[in-house]
Chains A and B, each alone.
Chain A
Amino acid sequence: MKKFLINIVLFILIAGLLATALDYAITSGLHKRTDYVQEVWNDVMNPAVDPDVIVLGNCVALHDHSPHVIDSVLNVDSYVFAMSNLTFPYHDFMWEMLKQHKYKDHSPKLIILALDYSDLVYREAKTNMENEQFLSLFYDKRAREFLCKHGGYNWLDATVPCYRYYGHKKRIKYGLMNFLGVSKYAGTSEHYKGYIGLDSEYSFSERGDRTFTQPIDNNVIALLDNFMTDCYERGIHVVVTLPPICYELTDMVDNDDEVYGVYESLAKEYGFDFISYCDPFWMSMDTTFFQSPNHLNERMSNIYSLELANYINSQQLLDNR
């Protein structure tokens, strides 16, 4: 039995060492990839990318805020740091990561915080449709802690090499191939500074008479409050914006006014701007402006970005910053 146990331990040790090397290879390979999510995370961790204006939010931030327009109107360097289908705790997490890697000793001039009716809850990153973006972040202590505490990952993901990659076959393959320098697996990038315009026809499969009440988590409200305190103390102005959402969807949300009321009161408390482009805003009233109920098409996202940039200009929010 003693010999058996010694051999088992020895085998586990060797396998563990090899798994550590493999984990490193996959993660390094993934960091070399040029797909959208990976490039954005690489830019988060790259101090050379140093935008004046950052846009935080979920997919409404990603698809509706065009840095082409914002940069040209405001004469700044902007970047959209968004994570699809995730809520405010993840925007806050992104902000923490940006502070750690980019804004240690200085701050962006302005933060555009793009929110929607769904932002006041926790969601699991692990079950997110783009969850694979988080796998290569586990080398970062803060990311690891956040993802294990709120993202649905556990201590095995955080401590056992390769464990979190199990089942992500494509990600493993892409990471290894990139590590080995096979360019075929480098991925394609279709974003411009974190923005992706959408140009397909409008579709909304869940259209119907049913309505739903969006949950509101007080812990998330407290987190939003902390975020604003942090920005206020660092002298960063925040524009809380509600990008247009098609009326077909907002009609289905029973308590969107309540959610937006929370955003507005917090923003006003800190002297930040709150601006709603949601229903009954004219852009929300025509389905042909949208690609899906939450996302404007590319043409309208440029128009919306222009409206937002003009607002920032008109309020002189970037002056003396």
Chain B
Amino acid sequence: MTINSLAFLLFFSVVFALYYSPLSPKGKVQNVLLLLASYFFYGYTDLRMLPLLLMVTGIFYLVGQGIEKYEDQKQSDYLLVSGIVLGIGMLVYFKYTNFFIQSFANLLNAVGLQTNWHSLKIVAPVGISFFVFRLVSYVIEVHRGMMSASKDILAFATYVAFFPCMLSGPIDRPDVFIPQLQQRRSFSYDVSVDGLRQILWGLFKKVVIADNLAQFVDAYLGGESLLSGSTTIIVAIAYTFQIYADFSGYSDMAIGVGKLLNLKVARNFNHPFFAVNIADFWHRWHMSLTSWVTDYVFTPLNFSFRRLRKWGMIFAILVNFLIVGLWHGASWNYVIYGLYHGLLFVPLILMGRMNANTEVKIGWLGLPIPKDFLRMILTFVLVVFGMLIFRCSTLGQFAGVITSLGQGLMSVPEIGAVDNWLFVIIMLVAEWVGRKTEHALDVSYVRSRVLRWSIYLLVCFAVFMKGGETTGFIYQVF
């Protein structure tokens, strides 16, 4: 049951009706409903892993209680480390075991030692990267004293398994999300309407842009034949828009569903293609993951190595992005993807421009001034190259893509269906116009209801015209 399916619409309609009905007079009853709905949703997706989710939820709840209970710092530290080791250990076991086995075997083979090691049949629980990061975040925040351990296991379990965010994020922070669950949520007209708008915008991005670009990208990047350089560039650009529309589309829908339940879900994207440097890009792209690793990896490391000044920061940023890369999965392309982005920060750190002003100056016709526009283009080019690394499933495929970049650069590229690009342009224009808002379809400032509804109907029409490809969400496998 994906979030953009008819089954989800039916499922959520029932949850919504019960959530605000007199049958749910208290926040706790609403939480019971949300928790049951979340476990149903998760079980529907992967029933085998539901017991694991229940077990780790229970364990982390107790670890949180323990951290708060022990006044002795050492015992509290011990519990924190146990929690982190358990969380990261689960990730390592489910996602990286085979990667390590295979990489080690390859290494031994390379030095002439023949091995006969087989990969283990390990099935990673759906959404593990998301819920483990939520759990680890919880024990760290409790340990830091930024929040008290949740006494309410219902609220805690709901935070961990909250169904809109379970499969593809965003990764909510416990100190923001759990307090929302500790009171009854009453219906808010304005928030709900905005939630519906955001769901519609997410649906547009997913169905109209991502799913259609996926057909084009898969046709070219999945094949054995060598592409011309110009086509490779176009396909890489298409993939960049595809992954953005896919992932931010899901995030918008999840946040929109949260709004309908009057719960504020963490923002995940902030119009990343208008970033003027790579640091700005990462402040706008997969924000819930970026802020997570910034808070729990980069900042402590940077502090620890502060004596090394800029070099300490470079080390911290490289480790930070190595983790960002590896978070996506066990594959060398993710390692390289992470390191590539880490290295892109080095010039910024050396020039002292990490925290430079990234406010875009507006010039003629509401467009960015040429200098800022060029900076956006340069950042976009760097991002597109990174996405090529991300997309290639093996290093061999990546080498093939790099080789193809060197030939036929001036040839006429394949661009696929022209209307796909037209919709990409519509998305970019809408996002530029709505860049001060959380999502591009926030047209609440338009006074005429006829005009507002016409916009919604046009988006629905585009979904109808271009929809129907049944591709899953890219980030659902992480």
A residues in contact (CB < 8 Å) with B: 1, 3-4, 7, 11, 14-15, 18-19, 22, 162, 165-169, 172-173
Contact = CB atoms under 8 A, between A and B. Distances in A.
Interface stretch (B32-40, B53-61, B453-461): B453-461
A169 B468 contact: yes
B20 interface: yes
Instruction: With a 10 A CB-CB cut-off, give which of A15, A18, A166, A169 has the most chain B CB atoms.
Output: A169
29 contacts: A1-B20, A1-B187, A1-B189, A4-B187, A4-B189, A4-B192, A4-B193, A7-B193, A11-B453, A11-B456, A14-B453, A14-B457, A15-B460, A18-B457, A19-B464, A22-B461, A22-B464, A162-B464, A165-B464, A166-B464, A166-B468, A167-B468, A167-B469, A168-B468, A169-B465, A169-B466, A169-B468, A172-B464, A173-B465
Contacts of A162: 464
A237 to B, nearest CB: 45
Interface residues of B, number: 16
Contacts of A167: 467-469
A22 B464 CA distance: 11
Given A1-B20, A4-B187, A172 B465 contact: yes
B402 to A, nearest CB: 34
Contacts of B193: 4, 7
A173 B467 CA distance: 12
A22 B457 CA distance: 12
A15 B468 contact: no
Contacts of A15: 457, 460
A169 B187 CA distance: 38
Contacts of B466: 169
Contacts of B457: 14-15, 18
A14 B457 CA distance: 9
A308 to B, nearest CB: 42
Nearest to A172: B465
A69 B475 CA distance: 60
Closest 9 pairs between A and B when the two form their complex, measured CB to CB: A167-B468, A1-B187, A4-B189, A166-B468, A4-B192, A172-B465, A166-B467, A3-B189, A162-B464
B155 to A, nearest CB: 24
B449 to A, nearest CB: 9
A3 B189 CA distance: 8
Nearest to B460: A15
Contacts of B187: 1, 4
A131 to B, nearest CB: 13
A182 to B, nearest CB: 15
A174 to B, nearest CB: 12
Interface in B86-118: none
Contacts of B189: 1, 3-4
Contacts of A172: 464-465
B197 to A, nearest CB: 12
Contacts of A11: 453, 456
B326 to A, nearest CB: 37
A188 B177 CA distance: 59
Given A15-B460, A166-B464, 15 more contacts: A1-B20, A1-B189, A3-B189, A4-B187, A4-B192, A4-B193, A11-B453, A11-B456, A15-B457, A22-B461, A22-B464, A162-B464, A165-B464, A166-B468, A167-B468
Contacts of A173: 465
Nearest to A19: B464
A53 to B, nearest CB: 40
A166 B461 CA distance: 11
Contacts of B456: 11
Contacts of A22: 461, 464
Contacts of B192: 4
Nearest to B465: A172
A172 to B, nearest CB: 6
Nearest to A8: B196
A14 B456 CA distance: 11
A262 B456 CA distance: 57
B333 to A, nearest CB: 32
A18 B456 CA distance: 13
Contacts of A3: 189
A314 B193 CA distance: 76
Contacts of A19: 464
B352 to A, nearest CB: 51
Contacts of B453: 11, 14
Contacts of B469: 167
A162 B460 CA distance: 12
Contacts of A168: 468
Interface in B436-478: 453, 456-457, 460-461, 464-469
A258 B192 CA distance: 63
A143 to B, nearest CB: 22
Instruction: With a 10 A CB-CB cut-off, give which of B456, B460, B464, B469 has the most chain A CB atoms.
Output: B464
A17 to B, nearest CB: 11
B199 to A, nearest CB: 13
A11 B187 CA distance: 19
Interface string B315-329: 000000000000000
A212 B162 CA distance: 49
A207 B461 CA distance: 46
A166 B465 CA distance: 7
Nearest to A18: B457
A18 B468 CA distance: 20
A26 to B, nearest CB: 10
A269 to B, nearest CB: 46
Contacts of A165: 464
A18 B189 CA distance: 26
Contacts of B465: 169, 172-173
B104 to A, nearest CB: 42
Nearest to B470: A167
Nearest to A1: B187
A263 B73 CA distance: 87
A167 B461 CA distance: 12
A14 B189 CA distance: 20
A4 B193 CA distance: 8
Nearest to A11: B453
